[in-house]
Structure 1
Amino acid sequence: MKISMGMVTASMALTLASCASTSDKTATDIGGSQQDAIQTVGVVPPPAPPAPLPTRSESAAPQMAVRNSAAMAQLQVMPAPPMPMQPVLRERYDGKEVSPVHLTQSEPVSTFSVDVDTGAYANTRRFLQQGQMPPKDAVRTEELINYFRYDYPAPQDRSVPFTVSTDMARTPWNPDTRLLRIGLRGYDLPRAERPAANLVFLLDVSGSMNSADKLPLVKAAMRKLADGLSPQDRVSIVVYAGAAGLVLEPTSDKAKIRAALDALQAGGSTAGGAGINLAYATAEANRIEGGVNRVILATDGDFNVGLRDQDALIELIEQKRDSGITLSTLGFGGGNYNEAMMEQVADHGNGNYAYIDSAMEAEKVLSDEMQSTLFTIAKDVKIQVEFNPAIVSQYRLIGYENRALREEDFDNDKVDAGDIGAGHQVTALYEIVPADVKGWIAPRRYDKDKTITSAKPGELAFVKLRYKLPDGDTSRLIERVVPTSAMASAGPARGDMAFVSAVAAYGQLLRGDTLLGSFDYDDAIKLAGPQTDYWRQEFTRLVKLADSQSAN
């Protein structure tokens, strides 16, 4: 059923936009059920907003609908008054404690959902480039690791959508332990074989977006995404400020998309809930059977009108996800940035979360990696590792704190998990203690068995993966044995293993991990070694920034 364009009136948008103020956007915007779990932190205020563009007065017209980009070009939302500069602004993160150590004899099984989000890396970079250390709750080490690509073999055919690789090295920060790496790589999808995409850009044009690092960057990012689409794809644009409106009906005309984006201005409060409902309704009305149907939300996450309760928001997104419409989120700006909401709703929407802090990051996420972002090849991907207590006495998973699952969740196809897009890679690192080596946890006085024997002495660990095909409801299983010989042959970390270890150490240092001993940022730089790739070279520069700023 097509949506009536009369749903949205120009006068509603103008009235609410001109009356709303951004001064009441505080940390209380998140629902009470999440308030205690979310930490607010002070950050450097963003750059002063640019001078507002000239506006045109409008008479009241209750039934005048915004129907297309031409109408949008005439409708200029009145910018909100400049927000007074505050000495401290507030951002929201939902951080978890660093993963604990586990005794293999009592907890041999580790289970978690895959994660291909990268937002924490770019957001951390934003803090460092502003001369600040990022708050610990903003750092998720697995997202730092998965920001980069590694030399994993590609699948030979699509009967299994991704390959599974394992390798091991001595831990650079602890000579008594070993690092076990598990790597997944999805198959590449040639452009000619891509399914058609029905994309709804849901863009925040509220007053809080009125700064150079927000709405202008949103426009640039959306242009990048639109430029990579094919004639079979369709784009709609929904905006929300004081009210939500459909400003571009579905089209593959890139000139119309650019014109609609160029016409956008920021002003008003944030009717996020109404915007999400309209975006999903638009996606449903233009659904492509067998294609990609996705809402892409671009915002600073500062909802203050409508659907405020984060639990209610997540419930809505899960309902739409089950109908086949997924949600990805793109975060922008700082000061009032609600990363807790952005990351969680993308996870529950079977989409991806990325943070866009520059035009280069927009190019990377929405042009270079577009097919990974949009085209899912496996969903509900879970990893379960069972360690042999006769070979491994203790272990810990580095990162994935907010992706942990219960052991019984692994075989339960009703439990939601992460998705893998075409060409995506996922990396997980375990730090393990050999059975004959003193570990982090001292021996217990009342342990019954001091000597553990195994019926499978040749196995160090057993790796299992479950996944569903994009249109499937029943999971498939992949199993791999990690041989005991991998520990005996483990040498110093080199090449990709050295670099991924350096990124893991960088993340854990930012998080305040006490198990890194005396290993520091300078050690991480040396471990990463010289690089030729731009993004890896930038990583080294960021580690140096963290080193200098941590000393202040």
Structure 2
Amino acid sequence: MIAPAPMVAPAPMPAQAMAPGPARNAYVPASVSPMPDASRFNNAEEGAYRLVAQEPVSTFSMSADTLSYAVAKRAINEGYLPPAQAVRPEEFINAFHYRYAAPRSAQRPFEPTVSVFPAPWDATKRLMQVGLRSYAPPRAARPKLNLVFLVDVSGSMSPPDRLELVRKALGLLVPQLRPEDRVSLVTYANGSRVVLDSVAGDRQGEIRAALDGLVAGGGTGGAQGLQTAYDLAARNFDASAVNRVVLATDGDFNLGPSSPQALEELITARRAGGVYLTTMGVGLDNLNDRTLNTLAKAGNGTSIYAGNLEDARRALVEDFSANIVPVADDVKLQVEFNPAEVSQYRLIGYETRALRREDFNNDRVDAGEVGSGREVTALYEFVPADGAATAPIEPLRYARPRARPVASSGEFAFLRIRYKLPGEARSRLIERAVVPADVVARFEEASEDARFATAVAGFAQVLRRSRYLGDWGLPQVEAVAAGARGADEDGRRAEFVSLVRLAQALKPAGR
């Protein structure tokens, strides 16, 4: 979700900002990548360090999106490292499951897990991990669904990694449906067409036949398709159900209102009716991440990507409730750092989700949706108050020395989380202090989840050519991740270790 004022899509990151001079981590593939043009990615310049004395408060919208990691994974598996503009670190970190504390009630859908430990790339700095696991109701208590599948059948969807994959992907979702669920199917190309209108979830043969009959061809009238899908969802609206449009496309709209801003305005005007939006991107060379990201934010939803059928299975089967069933809307996170303990800090990722300090308490400002049973993580890097000699921001030559503030509690920071229960207009608040009991002295003593999340964050920063990692690179990412795999019930962590090894092999000779 986004602020109610029309959002100006962030400009592509300047090359000099993303690659500030020669760096040992700035790996690039030897051949030309099939990745889309940089202008198709929604990103912003890497977040810089902030002085606690000047900006003690950090505020942002939580995000459960995972599209960026899935796109990077596909690129690497096809033999190319993704461009820096394609990497949003939070979407890498949030692509994995973590064993955070489970909340006990739908009324308080989060129970924050916090830990502080040395940064593996610079022992003079600390990392603060904030982990949230959202409430997951019992499977039998899952609300009814009113889903509208909106499928792009334009000519650009002809390759086998697009419409054919979408048909199979949505087919995987069909067995998750129950008789009380309702499913509609809308397609768009030169125009839009209603293929199914509110079919019961147990009529699975009819739903599969409709999906199997989809054929690609023509232009891309996405705006008309969205209008038709939202009209259908509104006509079949059920206040006791999850009402959601699931848009599957490569994001390439070329007929009707097609700019991200125009499409955003269309969806923003319709979301007040209680219909959410999930976007599923497919394809690679033609993928329009900027459009998919903008639409998902505007539609109170999440953005996912399917590079293959396994990606689709994870998104629509394994993470079905997390991507389809909301438990909290407008989720905002705010951290106030204590200048007695912290001198400087930076948030790793979430650059496109930044909010103003005053937005936190303003219930008219939209923020991210979080689904059922979802784990969401944020990582801060900070300089302890007594570590000014290693601080990224140099002290002013003519500044008058300040006496160190007296800390009565020893708190490092204070965490605040605001959220709305689905359908509510007034937010609720969760608060928690970050105290010495949250600190471990050595990185190796941090939990497996903390170390693995750090490895993933490090991987994203290496791909992004971060200026903050020094000589810490892919070999170190692999070592940390391999040592923090844990039980790995779903195999995602082992897959990540293999992905990092492959990325190392793609490093050109002599670089």
Query: Partners of 1:128 and 1:550 in 2: how far apart?
Result: 11
Deviation of 1:418 after TM superposition, in Å, equals 0.6
Q: Go from structure 1 to structure 2 and tell me whether the alpha carbon gap of 1:148 and 1:414 turns closer, same or farther (over 3 Å shift).
A: same
Query: Partners of 1:194 and 1:166 in 2: how far apart?
Result: 29
Look up the match of 1:436.
386
Are the equivalent residues in 2 in contact too, given 1:381–1:420 (CA < 8 A)? yes
Look up the match of 2:497.
540
Question: Unpaired runs of 5+ in structure 1?
Answer: 1-32, 47-87
Are the equivalent residues in 1 in contact too, given 2:414–2:431 (CA < 8 A)? yes
Structure 1 window deviating more from structure 2 (308-317 vs 272-281): it is 308-317
Matched, 1:98 2:50: no
Are the equivalent residues in 2 in contact too, given 1:503–1:524 (CA < 8 A)? yes
Q: Go from structure 1 to structure 2 and tell me whether the alpha carbon gap of 1:237 and 1:462 turns closer, same or farther (over 3 Å shift).
A: same
Query: Partners of 1:443 and 1:226 in 2: how far apart?
Result: 59
Q: Map of 1:139-538 to 2, 5 A cutoff?
A: 139-252=87-200, 253-437=203-387, 438=389, 439-487=391-439, 489=441, 491-492=443-444, 493-530=446-483, 531=485, 533=488, 534-538=491-495
Query: Partners of 1:420 and 1:113 in 2: how far apart?
Result: 11
Q: Go from structure 1 to structure 2 and tell me whether the alpha carbon gap of 1:157 and 1:89 turns closer, same or farther (over 3 Å shift).
A: closer
Query: Partners of 1:143 and 1:294 in 2: how far apart?
Result: 22
Q: Go from structure 1 to structure 2 and tell me whether the alpha carbon gap of 1:167 and 1:490 turns closer, same or farther (over 3 Å shift).
A: farther
Are the equivalent residues in 1 in contact too, given 2:51–2:344 (CA < 8 A)? yes
Give the partner amino acid of 1:542: L
Give the partner amino acid of 2:402: K
Select which of 61, 64, 88 maps to 1:116: 64
Query: Partners of 1:115 and 1:370 in 2: how far apart?
Result: 17
Deviation of 1:44 after TM superposition, in Å, equals 4.5
Q: Secondary structure at the match of 1:395?
A: strand
Deviation of 1:239 after TM superposition, in Å, equals 0.3
User: For each residue in 1:92-120, what CA deviation from the matched residue of structure 2 results, as whole angstroms up to 9, or x when unmatched?
Assistant: 11221111001111111000000000011
Are the equivalent residues in 2 in contact too, given 1:391–1:484 (CA < 8 A)? no
Q: Go from structure 1 to structure 2 and tell me whether the alpha carbon gap of 1:488 and 1:373 turns closer, same or farther (over 3 Å shift).
A: closer
Give the partner amino acid of 1:145: I
Deviation of 1:373 after TM superposition, in Å, equals 1.1
Q: Secondary structure at the match of 2:156?
A: helix
Query: Partners of 2:467 and 2:10 in 1: how far apart?
Result: 28
Q: Go from structure 1 to structure 2 and tell me whether the alpha carbon gap of 1:378 and 1:105 turns closer, same or farther (over 3 Å shift).
A: same
Deviation of 1:488 after TM superposition, in Å, equals 6.8
Q: Secondary structure at the match of 1:501?
A: helix
Q: Go from structure 1 to structure 2 and tell me whether the alpha carbon gap of 1:38 and 1:458 turns closer, same or farther (over 3 Å shift).
A: closer
Q: Go from structure 1 to structure 2 and tell me whether the alpha carbon gap of 1:491 and 1:540 turns closer, same or farther (over 3 Å shift).
A: closer
Q: Output the TM-score relative to the length of structure 2.
A: 0.90
Look up the match of 1:20.
none
Deviation of 1:456 after TM superposition, in Å, equals 3.3
User: For each residue in 1:149-203, what CA deviation from the matched residue of structure 2 results, as whole angstroms up to 9, or x when unmatched?
Assistant: 1110111233311111101111100010111100111111222111111100000
Q: Secondary structure at the match of 1:428?
A: strand
Query: Partners of 1:395 and 1:214 in 2: how far apart?
Result: 42
Structure 1 window deviating more from structure 2 (355-364 vs 90-99): it is 90-99
Give the partner amino acid of 1:427: T
Deviation of 1:363 after TM superposition, in Å, equals 0.8
Matched, 1:127 2:84: no
Q: Go from structure 1 to structure 2 and tell me whether the alpha carbon gap of 1:430 and 1:45 turns closer, same or farther (over 3 Å shift).
A: closer
Query: Partners of 1:37 and 1:453 in 2: how far apart?
Result: 40
Look up the match of 2:507.
550
User: If you compute each CA radius of gyration, which structure gives the higher value, 1 or 2?
Assistant: 1
Give the partner amino acid of 1:155: P
Look up the match of 1:72.
none
Query: Partners of 1:523 and 1:323 in 2: how far apart?
Result: 48
Structure 1 window deviating more from structure 2 (88-97 vs 528-537): it is 88-97
Are the equivalent residues in 1 in contact too, given 2:80–2:506 (CA < 8 A)? yes
Are the equivalent residues in 1 in contact too, given 2:47–2:348 (CA < 8 A)? yes
Are the equivalent residues in 2 in contact too, given 1:39–1:92 (CA < 8 A)? no
Query: Partners of 1:446 and 1:230 in 2: how far apart?
Result: 69
Deviation of 1:504 after TM superposition, in Å, equals 0.5
Higher RCO, 1 or 2 (CA under 8 Å, sep at least 6)?
A: 2
Q: Secondary structure at the match of 1:516?
A: coil
Give the partner amino acid of 2:453: V
User: How many pairs are equivalent?
Assistant: 479
Query: Partners of 1:154 and 1:217 in 2: how far apart?
Result: 34
Q: Output the TM-score relative to the length of structure 1.
A: 0.83
Are the equivalent residues in 2 in contact too, given 1:90–1:337 (CA < 8 A)? no
Are the equivalent residues in 2 in contact too, given 1:328–1:353 (CA < 8 A)? yes
Deviation of 1:335 after TM superposition, in Å, equals 1.4
**RMSD over equivalenced CA pairs, Å:** 2.1
User: For each residue in 1:475-523, what CA deviation from the matched residue of structure 2 results, as whole angstroms up to 9, or x when unmatched?
Assistant: 1111100114544745534422111110010000000001101101000
Question: Unpaired runs of 5+ in structure 2?
Answer: 1-7, 16-30
